[in-house]
Amino acid sequence: MRIGTRGSALALAQSELVRGALPGTPGDHTLRVIKTTGDLHPQASLARIGGKGIFTKEIEDALLAGEIDLAVHSLKDLPTETPAGLAMGAFLKREDARDALVSRSGASLDTLPARAVVGTSSLRRRSQVLARRPDLIVQEMRGNLPTRLARLDEGRFDAVIVAAAGLRRLHLFDRVTELLDEAIMLPAPGQGILAVEIRRDDRATAAAVRALEDPDARAEGDAERALLAGLDGGCLVPVGARARVEGDAIELIAFVGHPDGRPHIRRGASGRAASATDVGIALAAAMLESGAREILNEVRSDERFP
Q: Catalytic residues, which ones? A: 77
* Angstrom distances, CA of residue 189 to CA of 33, 34, 79, 228: 25, 24, 11, 7
- The total of other beta-carbon atoms located within 10 Å of residue 265's CB is 16
Query: Across-strand partners of 32?
Result: 4
User: Would you call 55 helix, strand, or coil by DSSP?
Assistant: coil
Cβ-contact 256, 230 below 8 angstroms: no
In terms of Cβ atoms closer than 10 Å to its own Cβ (0-12, 13-18, 19+), residue 262 is exposed
Q: What is the dihedral of CA 174, 178, 182, 185, to 10 degrees?
A: -110
